[in-house]
Structure 1
């Protein structure tokens, strides 16, 4: 593209005036709007037909001021033409550095959905508290700053319940959101240093994963449930290990049959966004009912509030004395698979875990059960 020429032009507006603006040809790249532009309005005006000496003098002064601005812009354009590639790159880096990292972080959060959206919002809210209401530019993002935020999270209290400290795993979840943002900013050249690779992590604390034994599971499903749809999807979760969010959005187009192989669910996990191809048993398929339109929900009419109300009462009526939530059916699936002899890698794939370490906690639960059983026999 050839060198741009800045020309002073006039545009008729209201009240017998003309607005002065610069016309660039070819267009100039505008870093603020992130696109090419032909015009820069100067917010300077002249009268079309000056009514008195005052307006005539105002026209002369305003035209002079506008011409000075035009000359300055032209000099800037000319100087850009003689900048070396290195100088241009440095100018670009400086311009990016003056952009708001905080606004960038918020924009990423706005793209999330469902529960993930809420978690990102909470993470961002804590980051704003850490910044004490100030903005943060890309040029001010450092390893030390992010490490300080890590320490803040490990000692922070919940913003909803100011008497309760964040659990380590909640702090880890919030910290991972800023790490994700740092990684993306580095990939997009908004950060010239891979800060994410230089900062310390927060070690995950193994959480208690409540589950039911096979005997308890059979007892639960033998107990009458006041909501048949809740019973159906609970059984489906135990038989497949699927999360509620994935069951709730399941459509008939994702239920497929492969000759000489059986039924599969082809879907994308809501939490990890990973594409999954998961075989399901004939028993699980029978729970789906009569096939309908490809875009229709399999479990139509499902509401999370119905599950939250029904499951605790249903579990209590079955005589199970454990704190069982709907998500515990996924834990039950994993522990029953491992107990039945399914290897940890297969279970990991069936659950859609990205890392087998996430699945190993279930193996530890089973090992503890074996240890408890071994200790029950004593000859002393």
Structure 2
């Protein structure tokens, strides 16, 4: 941002050489003059003079070999004090001219600064939003989880599909955003997948787009916060699949072709940990508080530092302790590589449900609430930053209660 020069205009006096009279002039400094590198001092004589100036004998202005001059006294408003009524009127006139000049300088500087801001804004409005969007991902999410980064990158890809590789900021208005929203709601999933994006996926990508718009407003690319004016795509409540305690025990008794997968899945059901947190869990993160085993770790998704007590069964699933820096569930692969052995294992156990690894976390939450653990404790154990996220599981419990209410049926009491 350009720094203002803060020009100040002051009423000054110059002594006439041959008589007791002082000429009045305005001095303006510093003034930027075209063609001059350094700021200039500008003097403007007002064709007025005074003879009855009241000088301050305690404040020396200039000393020569033959004389000493003093600074004039000024009142609280900075106006030079004179003794005669005529000179007082003259000094009031001089101060009025000073105010006029000061206002001119102030306005000139403000308009110059405004011109600079407008020029910078115009330049920014012609930059490529796609390039900015990609830079935000690298800067804002360099330490985020893989799933968050993928959502940001996928949002950019769909934006490119919608409007091309180059989208200048000046193109983006309310209509552009609404059109992109409509595009997402009918966009094909891409890759080898058939069908269109689910509403929840479209909602996620549009929320990412809005977050990028918000950051662009903060960084000065927009003069108004356009993200606050556009409505999000509402998310639809999805069914959270989970396992009953009987189904979990069936899985315990059923062999799995991938032993570390079986142990990690059951560990998730006993602790509620995500796959990403289990995958990076090390032995030095497992400790005891008295006789209570616990894990201390930083959640990969939320970056929250957590400690969690775990059961003896969960500890036993971890196996024999190894070196502190070793992974507890060594060779646990990414979710995409465990889908097939996981589905085979679930099918062999006779369970007819669409179970993914994340369902074991859902199972933990549902069983905890079913057994009377309060929702705030469950929310904390899951590492949720907002208890509203946990309330999804509470609705599952309410459905079970409603079904339970109809479970006992007596014969008609009308007879």
- 1:90 maps onto 2:92 in alignment: no
Which protein has the larger Cα radius of gyration, Structure 1 or Structure 2? Answer: 2
Q: Which runs of 5+ in 1 are unaligned?
A: 3-24, 26-80
Match among 346, 363, 374 for residue 394 of structure 2: 363
2:298 aligns to what SS in structure 1?
A: strand
1:341 aligns to what SS in structure 2?
A: coil
- 1:108 maps onto 2:136 in alignment: yes
1:353 aligns to what SS in structure 2?
A: coil
Distance 1:129 1:291, change over 3 A: same
2:229 aligned partner: 198
- 1:332 maps onto 2:360 in alignment: no
Distance 1:142 1:342, change over 3 A: same
Counterpart Cα distance in 2 of 1:231 and 1:141? 49
1:197 Cα deviation after fit: 1.6
> Is the Cα contact below 8 Å between 1:268 and 1:275 reproduced in 2?
yes
2:252 aligned partner: 221
1:163 Cα deviation after fit: 5.2
> Is the Cα contact below 8 Å between 1:263 and 1:282 reproduced in 2?
no
TM-score (norm 1): 0.71
1:104 aligns to what SS in structure 2?
A: helix
2:162 aligned partner: 130
Counterpart Cα distance in 2 of 1:287 and 1:153? 43
Q: CA offsets, 1:132-168, max 9 Å, x none?
A: x252122332233212211221222223368512111
Distance 1:255 1:98, change over 3 A: farther
Counterpart Cα distance in 2 of 1:162 and 1:258? 48
Counterpart Cα distance in 2 of 1:326 and 1:147? 36
Counterpart Cα distance in 2 of 1:153 and 1:282? 47
- 1:297 maps onto 2:317 in alignment: no
> Is the Cα contact below 8 Å between 1:256 and 1:263 reproduced in 2?
yes
Distance 1:354 1:217, change over 3 A: same
Aligned counterparts, 1:1-20, within 5 A: none
Counterpart Cα distance in 2 of 1:94 and 1:255? 56
Deviates more, 1:285-294 or 1:225-234: 285-294
1:115 Cα deviation after fit: 3.6
2:151 aligned partner: 119
> Is the Cα contact below 8 Å between 2:162 and 2:183 reproduced in 1?
yes
Match among 340, 343, 348 for residue 379 of structure 2: 348
Distance 1:183 1:255, change over 3 A: farther
1:308 Cα deviation after fit: 1.8
Counterpart Cα distance in 1 of 2:236 and 2:360? 21
Distance 1:195 1:260, change over 3 A: farther
Distance 1:338 1:187, change over 3 A: same
Aligned counterparts, 1:117-266, within 5 A: 117-131=149-163, 133=164, 135-160=166-191, 164-259=195-290, 262-266=293-297
Q: Which runs of 5+ in 2 are unaligned?
A: 4-36, 38-108
1:244 Cα deviation after fit: 1.0
Counterpart Cα distance in 2 of 1:159 and 1:308? 20
Q: CA offsets, 1:312-354, max 9 Å, x none?
A: 1211221222221211101100100100111112212221223
1:367 Cα deviation after fit: 1.0
> Is the Cα contact below 8 Å between 2:130 and 2:165 reproduced in 1?
no
Distance 1:260 1:142, change over 3 A: farther
Counterpart Cα distance in 2 of 1:147 and 1:256? 52
> Is the Cα contact below 8 Å between 1:266 and 1:277 reproduced in 2?
yes
1:269 aligns to what SS in structure 2?
A: coil
> Is the Cα contact below 8 Å between 2:145 and 2:300 reproduced in 1?
no
Deviates more, 1:173-182 or 1:107-116: 107-116
Counterpart Cα distance in 2 of 1:166 and 1:219? 35
> Is the Cα contact below 8 Å between 1:156 and 1:166 reproduced in 2?
yes
